[in-house]
Amino acid sequence: MNTIYEINKGINRPLEFRGLKAQYIVYFVLGLIGLLVLFAVAFIAGVPTLICFAGTGVLGFVLYVNVYRYSNKYGSYGLMKEAAFRQVPAAIRCRTRKVFVDLNRSKKQDNDSGNGTVRGHSDRSAVDPAR
């Protein structure tokens, strides 16, 4: 009556298939589907079969090399992080004080409408040394 349970040691690890990690498997499959559609369109359009095979083969090799290169360079989620990092501005420029003045006004309005405390501080604040 002893039951042996096998422990799944692959929990929370990214999916990997022949060296391709995570989303790169999807990119590769979508690229292959795109190449199949491109081959079919070219073949139906009357392009010679040898040129269709050669073009599809070259584009398939380029797809293979690029997807594996990105998979090895960036890892599971590094490509998304790299794309997000490229959207971060190098600097934020404020040419007027209006942003900070408006921020100060909104903070004062929050204090007046609230219970007199700011971010968990009591009425005795470190700003007023007389107390």
Distances (CA, A) of 117 to 120, 121, 127: 6, 5, 13
72-109 burial by CB neighbour count: b if 16+ within 10 A, else e?
eebebeebeeeeeeeeeeeeeeeeeeeeeeeeeeeeee
The 3-state DSSP class for residue 21 equals: strand
- Least confident span in 10-19, 23-32, 65-74: 10-19
How confident is residue 131, by pLDDT bands cut at 50, 70 and 90?
Answer: very low
Would you give the DSSP letter of residue 6? P
Segments making up each domain of the chain, as ranges: 11-112
Count CB atoms within 10 A of the CB of residue 28: 19
Contact indicator for 53, 61 with CB cutoff of 8 Å: no
How confident is residue 77, by pLDDT bands cut at 50, 70 and 90?
Answer: confident
pLDDT at residue 122 is higher than 70: no
pTM: 0.55
pLDDT at residue 30 is higher than 90: yes
Query: In DSSP terms, which residues pair with 17 in a beta bridge?
Result: 20
